[in-house]
Structure 1
Amino acid sequence: MRQADSISPAQDLRGRRSEQKRFRPDIEGLRAVAVLAVVLFHAEVPGVGGGYVGVDVFFVISGFLITGLLWREANTTGTVRLRSFYGARARRLLPASATVGVVTMGASVVLLPALQVKSVIWDGITSALYVGNYWFIMRGVDYFASHKALSPFQHYWSLGVEEQFYLVWPALIIGTAWLIRRVRRRTRAEATSSQRPYLVVLALTAVVSFALSLAATPLAPPVAFFSLPTRAWQLAIGGLVALTVGRWQRLSPRAGAITGWAGLALILLACGGLSSATLYPGIAALLPTVGAALVIAAGCASPEGGCGRVLGLSPMRAIGRISYSWYLWHWPVLLLVPALLGHPLGLAARVAAALLAGGLALLTLRFIENPLRFAAPIRRSPGRSLALGGAATAVAVCVGLALLHVVPTPIGRGTPAAALKVTTAPVPAGAGLAAYDAAAQRAVAQVQAAVAASVDIKAVPSNLDPSFADVEAEQKAYMGSGCLRTPTQGGQPECATGDTESTTTVAVVGDSHAAIWNPAFKQAAADRHWRLETLAKAACPLMDLRVTNSFRPLVELLEHCEQWRAEIMTRLRAEHPRLVVVSAFRGYGADESMTGFNAYDPTWIDGLTRIVQQLRSIGAKVLVLGPVPDPHFDVPTCLSAHLDDVTACLPRRSKAVNESGIAAESAAAKAGGGQYADVTDLFCTADRCPVIVGNTLIYVDSSHLTFEYSRLLAPVMGALADRALAHG
C-alpha cells in the first residue's frame, strides 16, 4: 500500500510547523499493524482470517495525510501546486512499484504455468498503469477465490485505488474552493480558509460512496471490493479527521487514550473476527475503517499517549517504514516460491517466505525508495520527479509488452492419440424401454472404456484437441454465439439449429452448464432431423429457487434471472417442445456465491421437482442431466504446467463428484415425472476423473466442457434423448 509523508495537520491551519513536528510516530506504527495484518492473512497464519482489512487501514491513513497536506497548502497559498504534489507522489511511489512489477513479470515467465503467464503479464501491465483494479473487475476476479489460479499482481488493486484517489482528491479541493468563490464571491484566500464547505463535500462523498459499497457488495462483489467509488468513503473518513484536527486535539489525555485503544481494538477485532467468507466490504468494513480513524484522531491529541505509545515503539516504526515495499513484495513471493520449489508451502515455510519478502523490502527501501526520494536534484524539481515516475512506469509497461511476444504457447509433447469415437445404431420404432436402455448403455460403455484407458496418459498428446493455442478463443466463443446470455443481458434470442422445419422440437435449457451440451445435442438433432433450441443464461438455472437472501432483490435488478425464467416458461408453453433437457452448474454456494443459490440444498431439490412438474404440465418430456464432475481448478492451466505428467491434473472422483447430491436430484426429477441422467461415468472411473480422453481436452476452464468433447458425446446424448422421448 501507499505511504504518504507522515504529516499531521496543525491546529493553526495558517501556521507552518517544522518537518519534525509534523511527524507522527503513531501513524508509522499504525502502518505496521496494517501491513502485518495483510501479510499474515496472505501467509494463512491462523487467527488472522480478516487480515485483508489492513488495506482499509491504509486507505484511512492516506485519506488523513493527503487531505491534510492539500488543505495546508491550499490554506497557505490559496491553491494547490499540482506539479509539486504529483511529482512528490511519483518520486516516492512509482520506482519501487515498477521495480517489483518487472521482477514479478520476469519470475512469472520462468515459474508459472505457460498458459497462465500471458494473463499475469497483462495483470502486470495494467497494474503498472494503475488501472489494475478495474482490469480485475472486468475479469470478474473474486479476491477471496481459492479454486482459481491467483495472480501475483492481485494485491496491486489497492495501488490503483490510491493512484486514482491522488488524481481525484486535489481536484476535489480545488473545485470546492472555486465553488465557494463563485457562490460567496470570496477571494482565493477566503475560499480556502473556510473549513465547513470542505467538511460537507467530504461527508457527502463518504455517504454516497458507502451507499454504493453497500449496494454493490452483494450485487457485484468485484466492483465493491476493487473500485474507487466504493472505497472512497474510507479515504474520506480519513480526510474528515484531517479537517477536524483542532477538535480532536482538545481531547483530554484519558479520553484520547480510550479513543485510541478502542480504535485499535476494532482493527484487531476485524483481523481476528472476519474471514474470507464475510460479505465484504459492506457493513463489515466499518470495523477497520472506524478503528483506524479513532487511532489517528486520538493521536492528534497525544501521539505518544495511549496506544500511540505502543505504536511508536522502534520495532513498530521500523516495520512501518518498510510497509510499502513489504506490501509490494509479500504476495508475489508467497505465490511464486511454491512454484519454484514445486510444492505447496506449510505454515512455517509461508512465514519464512513472508520474512524473505520483508528482507527484499529492506533492500528496496535502502537502494531504490530512499535514494530517489531524497536525491536533491530530483526532489527540488517537480518536472524531474514526474519524469522519473513516468520513466519507471514506461519501463514496466514496455517490459510487459516485450514479454508477451516471447512467451511461447505450450504444445503437447506426448505421442499423438486417437480421438474418442462412439458408434450407435438406431432403435427400431415401437421398441420397448429395454431396447432404449441397451442402446444408451452401449454408448456409455464405449466412453467408459476410453475414459479408463486415459487415466494412465502421462504426457499431453501432441495432437491435443483443442490445442492450448485455441483454448482462449473457445472460452470467448461461449458468449459469442448469442445462445448463451450473459448475467446482465435480458431476453433470449431464437437459437434454433438442426432441422428448423421439423415438428419435433428439443429444447436445451438452463445456465452456462446447459449451453455446454449444445454441440452434443446439435449433432444429435442433425442426425435425427429434430429442431434444437438452446435457451441459456449464465448464472441463472431454470429452477425457481425462491432464495430468501435479503440481498436477492438487488441481485435480481442486475441479473434479471426471475424475469428470464418467466420469459422462457412462456416461450416453452407457446412452442410445445417434445423434450426439454435441463442442466445447471452445481458450484453455486461454493465456487460461486453472488447469486445466493446453493446447489443440492433443500431449496434446490424442491425447485428441481417443481420445474419438472411445470414442464410436464405443458406436455413436454423432461430429461435432467446430472452435473459434470468439477475439478475445482483451471484444467488447461494445470496441464500447461505438467506437459509430461498429466496425472498431476487428475482430480479424484470423491472430490469432483457429489454422489449424495446426485442421488437427491435423481429422486427429485423422478418425483416430478421426468428422467434423470447421471453423466459421471462419461468422465470418471471409480477413482479418478481424467481431463484428457484420447486426444480430446475435456475442460476449457475449471468446469465447462470443450466444444470438442461435448460433440464427441453426441451419440450418448442422442441415445438418452431417444429414450426420454419414447418412454419419458
Structure 2
Amino acid sequence: MSVAPPRQAHGSRFRPDIEGMRAVAIGLVLFYHAGLPWIPGGFVGVDVFFVISGFLITGLLLREIAKTGRISLPTFYARRAKRLLPATALVLVATAALTYIVLPVTDRRVFGWDIVSAAAYVANWRFADRSVDYLAEGIGASPVQHFWSLAVEEQFYLVWPILIVAVLLVSRRVGRSPRILLGPALLLVAVPSFLWSVTETGHNPEAAFFATPTRLWELAVGAGVALALPHIRRLPVRHATILAATGLSAVALSALLFDADTAWPGHLALVPVLGTAAVLAGGEVARDAGAGRLLSAQPMVWVGGLSYSLYLWHWPLLIAATAYWNDDLGVGRGVAIVALSVVPAWLSLVLVENPVRFAQRLKSTSLSLSVGANFTAVGVAAGLVLVLVVPSTATDPVSSPPPGAEVVRDDPAAASSLWEVTSAQRIVPSPETATLDVPVSYAEGCQQDQATSNVVLCEYGDGASEHVIALVGDSKALQWQPVLDQLATAHGWRLVTMTKSSCGLYDGATGDEAGIYSSCVDWNSRAVEEITALRPDVVLTSQYSSAALTDPEDSESEATDEGMVAALESRWAKLADSGIPVIALTNNPSPTGEVYECVAENLENLSACSFPGTQTLTAEVQREAARLVPGTRVLDMNDVICPDGMCPAVMGEVLVYRQASHLTKTFVESTKNILEPRLIEALETAAPEVDW
C-alpha cells in the first residue's frame, strides 16, 4: 500500500524544510509535555512556531502585494478562519466533554471560562492574569492552556496586516518600495517588544510567559526574514548550508540546555528564535543540502503538516489522562498519550480541517467569514455549557445562616459529629464556588500581588473612630478581615488593612523563584512607615511563611524557622519600642490537598476529607517570637478550626477551607461570637490604656 505524498495528504503549500522545522517544533513540545527528562527545554518549540508563523504570514502578504498591489484584509481573515477555526471548535467541544467526564467537578466553571477565552483567542491574557492571581492557587493546569500561544499568534495576525496596509498607503504617497518602509515598521514592533520581554521576565516571569507584548518580537523576527528574502537569496549555497545547520543546532541546544527554571522568554529566547530564523534563511537557498535535506525528509514533512492538529489535541488528552491516573501519569504513559494523539489529530485534519479549508463552496470571502464566526460560536457555547451544567450543593435558598463554627461554641463535645451535614444540598459555600468565597478586600484592590511593593491602606469598621487596629500581613491575615470588619463596626473601632501576597510583617527576607523576595522586603519597609504614621492602637498580624533566610541579603543562605523567629522579633520589637503593640494571630493548619474538591467528590462521606489539626510550624514560630517581645500577645483560633485535634471539611453546614490552607469567608464570619471575647481580651492586654 502506497502512502500519498505529503502535499496531497495535508494540503501543504509550504516549503518542505519549513514543514520539517514545524515537525521539530511540535516534537519538542510533545516530548516536553510528555515529561521526557532529556528534553528539559522542549518548551522552545513554541518559540520556533512563532518565528515560522511570522515568516509565513508576512511572506504571504508580501506576495499578495507583489501580485495585486494591495492587501485584502477580509480575504486574509477569511483564509485564517477557514484554516484555524474548524479544528479549534472541534477540539474545544471535545475538551469540554473530557472536562465534564474526567476532571474534578470543582474545576468545571473555571475551565469552562477558559474554553470560552480560548475560542475567542484571548486565552493568553486569562492565563497571564491567573499566573499572578493569588486566589488562583490550587487550580490545576487548564485543558486549554496550550491555546495561549495560538492567541498570541492570532493577535499578531490581527495587528500586523493592518500595519502593512498602513505602510503600503504611505509607500504609495512617498513613492518608495513597501519593503523599504516595512523594515522600520517592523523594528517599531520588535524592539519595544524585546525590551519589554527582558524587563518583564526579570520582574514578573509568570505573566511575561503568556503576555502578547513579550512575544511579538519573536513573530517579528520571522517577519524580518521574509522581508529580507531578496537579499538572502544572494547567499552562496555553502554559506546558506552552514547558516541553516548552525540555526538547527541552536534550537536543539536550547531544548537540551534550558529547563523549567530558566527565566523565559527574556534574552535567552534569542537562541532558539535566531536559530529558527537562520534555518528559514539558509533553507531558502540550500533546500537540498545539510539541514535543508534533513528537514525535507518525507516523515518530517508529514509530521509538520500535522503539527497544528497535534498541538491542539495532545494537551487536553494529557490533562484528562493525568486526572484519570490521579496525577501519576509518568513518562511512559505520557509518551503513550502523545503518540495516541496522532489518531484524533489525523482524523480531524482529514475529516474537518482540509474539507472546510479547500471547499469550493467556501470560495466566497463573506461566506468563509460567516462559517468562521459560527465555529467560534460553537467553541464559546461549549465553554458556556460547561459553566452552566455545574451542579451545586447549595441550590436551595438559605432561609437562615448556617451555624458554622457556632456548633463548637454551643456544644464543644459535638466535634465528633461535625463531619456530616443536615442535607447534601446544604453546604455553604458550595464546593463548586468555594474559591469565590473570599474577603471583599480582593475585589477592592487591597491585597497586593507578589510583584508589587506598594502599600495600600483600606479602611473598614467605624471610619470615624479614634481606636485603630491595623491588620498587616499576607493572605492568612486578610482572610480574617470579614469578621474583623463586623466586630470593628459593632464596637466602634477603625480597621485598617495592609496586606501583600506571601509576605508577612517581618524584618528579614524569604526566597522566591528569582532569589530573594525583594518586593516583600521593600513592602515591609514601606508598611512600617505607614504603620508609624498611622499610629494604630495595636497591630494584628498573621502569615503563612515559617522560615526566613539566615542572611537576608544572600539568596543562597539557608531558610530556617530560627531565621523567621529572629525576623519577627526584630520587626515586632521595633514597633513595640514605638509604642505600637502587636497581636499575633496564629496560622491555621493546612490540609494536604484541596478540601473543596474532596467534599465535592465525597458528599456522602465527608469524614474522608478531614485531616489531623497539628499545630503549624508557623504558629510555633509566632509564639516563640511573641515570647521574646514583651507586650506581644498571641491570638489562637485553631481549637475552633480543628476541635479535638481534627479539622473537619464541613462544620455546621459551612465549608471550612476554600483553597490550599485558606478559610472560606463564610466560615470566618461564623466564628464571630467565639473570636469576639478572645480578641477583646488580647486587645485589653496588649493596649490596656485604650477603652475597648
Q: Tell me which of 372, 392, 406 is aligned to 1:421.
A: 406
For the 8 Å contact 2:138–2:659, the answer to whether it is kept is no
For the 8 Å contact 2:18–2:295, the answer to whether it is kept is yes
Partner of 1:609: 569
Point out the more displaced range, 289-298 or 226-235: 289-298
For the 8 Å contact 2:611–2:646, the answer to whether it is kept is yes
Q: Give the deviation of 1:407 after TM superposition.
A: 3.5
- With over 3 angstroms needed to count, the CA separation of the structure-2 counterparts of 1:266 and 1:499, relative to structure 1, is closer
- 1:627 and 2:587 equivalent? yes
For the 8 Å contact 2:58–2:226, the answer to whether it is kept is yes
Partner of 1:704: 662
Residue type at the aligned position of 1:191: S
Point out the more displaced range, 403-412 or 42-51: 403-412
Q: Give the deviation of 1:180 after TM superposition.
A: 3.0
Partner of 1:537: 499
Q: What is the SS of the residue equivalent to 1:700?
A: strand
- With over 3 angstroms needed to count, the CA separation of the structure-2 counterparts of 1:212 and 1:459, relative to structure 1, is farther
Residue deviations 1:415-467 (CA, integer Å, cap 9, x gap): x997433788xxxxxxxxxxxxxxxxxx9xx87x766765x669995432333
Partner of 1:428: none
- With over 3 angstroms needed to count, the CA separation of the structure-2 counterparts of 1:686 and 1:284, relative to structure 1, is farther
Following superposition of structure 1 onto structure 2, how do residues 221-300 of structure 1 map, counting pairs within 5 Å? 221-300=205-284
Q: Tell me which of 577, 583, 587 is aligned to 2:542.
A: 583
- 1:671 and 2:628 equivalent? yes
Percent identical among aligned pairs is 35
- 1:465 and 2:448 equivalent? no
What value does the CA root-mean-square deviation take over the aligned residues?
A: 4.2
Residue deviations 1:323-381 (CA, integer Å, cap 9, x gap): 10111111111112344566642332222222222211011111111222222332x33
- 1:203 and 2:187 equivalent? yes
- 1:387 and 2:370 equivalent? yes
Q: What is the SS of the residue equivalent to 2:248?
A: helix
Following superposition of structure 1 onto structure 2, how do residues 518-537 of structure 1 map, counting pairs within 5 Å? 518-522=481-485, 529=491, 531=493, 533-537=495-499
Residue type at the aligned position of 1:699: Y
Q: Give the deviation of 1:94 after TM superposition.
A: 0.9
For the 8 Å contact 1:535–1:568, the answer to whether it is kept is no
- 1:191 and 2:177 equivalent? yes
- 1:401 and 2:384 equivalent? yes
- 1:53 and 2:39 equivalent? no
Point out the more displaced range, 165-174 or 481-490: 481-490
For the 8 Å contact 2:461–2:487, the answer to whether it is kept is no
Partner of 2:475: 512
- 1:477 and 2:440 equivalent? yes
Q: Give the deviation of 1:479 after TM superposition.
A: 2.2
Q: Give the deviation of 1:57 after TM superposition.
A: 0.8
Partner of 1:347: 331
Tell me how far apart the structure 2 counterparts of residues 162 and 104 of structure 1 sit (CA, whole Å). Answer: 21
For the 8 Å contact 2:194–2:214, the answer to whether it is kept is yes
For the 8 Å contact 1:460–1:644, the answer to whether it is kept is no
- With over 3 angstroms needed to count, the CA separation of the structure-2 counterparts of 1:74 and 1:349, relative to structure 1, is same
Partner of 2:100: 109
Residue type at the aligned position of 1:536: M
Point out the more displaced range, 671-680 or 123-132: 671-680
Q: Tell me which of 134, 137, 155 is aligned to 2:128.
A: 137
Tell me how far apart the structure 1 counterparts of residues 493 and 676 of structure 2 sit (CA, whole Å). Answer: 15
Tell me how far apart the structure 2 counterparts of residues 406 and 516 of structure 1 sit (CA, whole Å). Answer: 30
For the 8 Å contact 1:205–1:233, the answer to whether it is kept is yes
For the 8 Å contact 1:524–1:718, the answer to whether it is kept is no
Residue type at the aligned position of 1:323: S
Partner of 1:497: 461
Tell me how far apart the structure 2 counterparts of residues 310 and 97 of structure 1 sit (CA, whole Å). Answer: 31
Partner of 2:356: 372
Tell me how far apart the structure 2 counterparts of residues 601 and 105 of structure 1 sit (CA, whole Å). Answer: 45
For the 8 Å contact 1:115–1:410, the answer to whether it is kept is no
- With over 3 angstroms needed to count, the CA separation of the structure-2 counterparts of 1:296 and 1:105, relative to structure 1, is same
- With over 3 angstroms needed to count, the CA separation of the structure-2 counterparts of 1:647 and 1:236, relative to structure 1, is farther
| TM-score, normalising length: structure 2 | 0.83
Q: What is the SS of the residue equivalent to 1:32?
A: helix
Q: Give the deviation of 1:210 after TM superposition.
A: 0.7
Unaligned runs of 5+ in 2: 1-5, 549-554, 688-692
Q: Tell me which of 160, 180, 193 is aligned to 2:171.
A: 180
Q: What is the SS of the residue equivalent to 1:198?
A: helix
Tell me how far apart the structure 1 counterparts of residues 518 and 186 of structure 2 sit (CA, whole Å). Answer: 29
Q: Tell me which of 317, 320, 329 is aligned to 1:336.
A: 320
| TM-score, normalising length: structure 1 | 0.79
Partner of 1:75: 66
Point out the more displaced range, 486-495 or 384-393: 486-495
- With over 3 angstroms needed to count, the CA separation of the structure-2 counterparts of 1:119 and 1:258, relative to structure 1, is same
Residue type at the aligned position of 1:497: G
Tell me how far apart the structure 2 counterparts of residues 284 and 95 of structure 1 sit (CA, whole Å). Answer: 35
Tell me how far apart the structure 1 counterparts of residues 101 and 355 of structure 2 sit (CA, whole Å). Answer: 30
Partner of 1:357: 341
Residue deviations 1:368-411 (CA, integer Å, cap 9, x gap): 11222222332x33333222222211222234334443433245
Q: Tell me which of 155, 167, 174 is aligned to 1:164.
A: 155
Total equivalences in the alignment: 665
Tell me how far apart the structure 2 counterparts of residues 39 and 608 of structure 1 sit (CA, whole Å). Answer: 46
Q: Tell me which of 565, 569, 577 is aligned to 2:531.
A: 569
Tell me how far apart the structure 1 counterparts of residues 364 and 202 of structure 2 sit (CA, whole Å). Answer: 46
Q: What is the SS of the residue equivalent to 2:426?
A: coil
Tell me how far apart the structure 2 counterparts of residues 37 and 460 of structure 1 sit (CA, whole Å). Answer: 51
- 1:695 and 2:680 equivalent? no
- With over 3 angstroms needed to count, the CA separation of the structure-2 counterparts of 1:586 and 1:681, relative to structure 1, is farther
Unaligned runs of 5+ in 1: 1-5, 8-18, 425-442, 590-595
Q: What is the SS of the residue equivalent to 1:392?
A: helix
Residue deviations 1:118-153 (CA, integer Å, cap 9, x gap): 22121111211112222333444689x995322111
Tell me how far apart the structure 1 counterparts of residues 30 and 12 of structure 2 sit (CA, whole Å). Answer: 31
Tell me how far apart the structure 1 counterparts of residues 170 and 563 of structure 2 sit (CA, whole Å). Answer: 55
Q: What is the SS of the residue equivalent to 2:239?
A: helix
- With over 3 angstroms needed to count, the CA separation of the structure-2 counterparts of 1:312 and 1:100, relative to structure 1, is same
For the 8 Å contact 2:457–2:496, the answer to whether it is kept is no
For the 8 Å contact 2:167–2:181, the answer to whether it is kept is yes
For the 8 Å contact 2:107–2:432, the answer to whether it is kept is no
Q: What is the SS of the residue equivalent to 2:539?
A: strand
Q: What is the SS of the residue equivalent to 1:508?
A: strand
Tell me how far apart the structure 1 counterparts of residues 305 and 49 of structure 2 sit (CA, whole Å). Answer: 13
Tell me how far apart the structure 2 counterparts of residues 300 and 81 of structure 1 sit (CA, whole Å). Answer: 27
Q: Give the deviation of 1:526 after TM superposition.
A: 7.1
- With over 3 angstroms needed to count, the CA separation of the structure-2 counterparts of 1:461 and 1:560, relative to structure 1, is farther
Q: Give the deviation of 1:107 after TM superposition.
A: 2.6
Residue deviations 1:18-69 (CA, integer Å, cap 9, x gap): x999742221111112112222222222223322221111000001111111
